[in-house]
Amino acid sequence: MSEAHLTMGAHSAPPMEARPFAMPSKKLAMWLFIMSDVMTFAACTVAYAFLRNATPDWPRPFHSVTNVVVMTVIMLTSSLTLLVALEAAKAVDKAKAFQWMLITAAGGVLFTLLHIRDWMGMINQGVTLFHNPWSPAPFGAAFYSITGFSLMHISVGTIALFVVAIRYKGGRYTADDVELFNLFWQFIGLVWLFIVPLVYLMNLAR
C-alpha cells in the first residue's frame, strides 16, 4: 500500500471526478442554461418565421423604429458597462464594480420602460394577441410572444443584477459571480440583436 493511501486514512473524502470541460460547475450550469434558452428562442423564431412566410398579407406596421434604435443603443451600452464592472471586480475594486453594476441596472430599467412604451403604442393601435387592425394574420401573437419573452428576460435580469450588485458589495458574491451574471446579460443582449432585424426591420412599412 502506498504512503499516500496510509496517510489518507478512513476519514478521507472520496476521490473527486474531474470537472467537465475544466470549468467551475456554476459556470457550466450557466452555459447550459444559456444553451437551453437558445432552444426556446429558436422555437419562438421558427414559429414566427413559419407564420410570417405562410401568410401572404402579413402586416408591416412600423413606420418609425426610433424607439427601437434607442433601446438597441441602451442594450449595447449596458453590455459594455457590465464588462467595466466585471473588470473592476476582477481587480478587487469593489466600489467601482458596484457603481458600474448599478449603471448597467439603470440601463436595464430604462430599456424595460422603453419596451413597455413600445408595447403600449401597439396596444393603442389595436394590436392584441388574436387581433390586429391590418389583416387576419396572427401578427400580435408572434410579436408579443417574441418581444415578451425578451422583455421578461431583461426585466428579471435587471432585478437579478440589483441582487448581484448588493450581494457583491456585501461580500457574499465574488468576481466569479459577476462573471456568471455577465454571461446571462450578454446573452439577452445578443437575443435582442436578432429580434430587431427579424421582428422590427422586416416589418417596416413600405
Which parts of this chain interact with another protein (CB under 8 A)?
Answer: 21-23, 31, 35, 38-39, 42, 45-46, 49-51, 53-56, 65, 69, 72-73, 76-77, 79-80, 83-84, 87, 90-91, 182-183, 186-187, 189-190, 193-194, 196-198, 200-202, 204, 206
Looking at the Cβ atoms of 60 and 172, the one nearer to another protein is 60
C-alpha dihedral (174, 175, 176, 182), degrees to nearest 10:
120
- Which parts of 59-138 fold into alpha helices (H)? 66-90, 94-124
The residue count of the chain comes to 206
Residue 148 CB, shortest distance to another protein, in Å, is: 20
| Measured CA distances, 205 to 69, 81, 200 (Å) | 16, 34, 10
Looking at the Cβ atoms of 132 and 203, the one nearer to another protein is 203
Closest of 114, 95, 118 to residue 106, by C-alpha: 114
Residue 165 CB, shortest distance to another protein, in Å, is: 19
Residue 3 CB, shortest distance to another protein, in Å, is: 33
What secondary structure letter does DSSP report for 22?
G
Residue 64 CB, shortest distance to another protein, in Å, is: 10
Contact 153, 167 (CB under 8 A): no
Looking at the Cβ atoms of 166 and 198, the one nearer to another protein is 198
111-114's contacts with Cβ under 8 Å and 24+ in sequence apart are: 111/71, 111/74, 111/75, 111/78, 111/154, 112/151, 112/154, 112/155, 112/158, 114/67, 114/70, 114/71, 114/74
Looking at the Cβ atoms of 90 and 166, the one nearer to another protein is 90
Residue 54 CB, shortest distance to another protein, in Å, is: 4
> CA angle, corner 182, sides to 146 and 96, nearest 5?
130
Looking at the Cβ atoms of 37 and 166, the one nearer to another protein is 37
Looking at the Cβ atoms of 23 and 113, the one nearer to another protein is 23
Residue 20 CB, shortest distance to another protein, in Å, is: 8
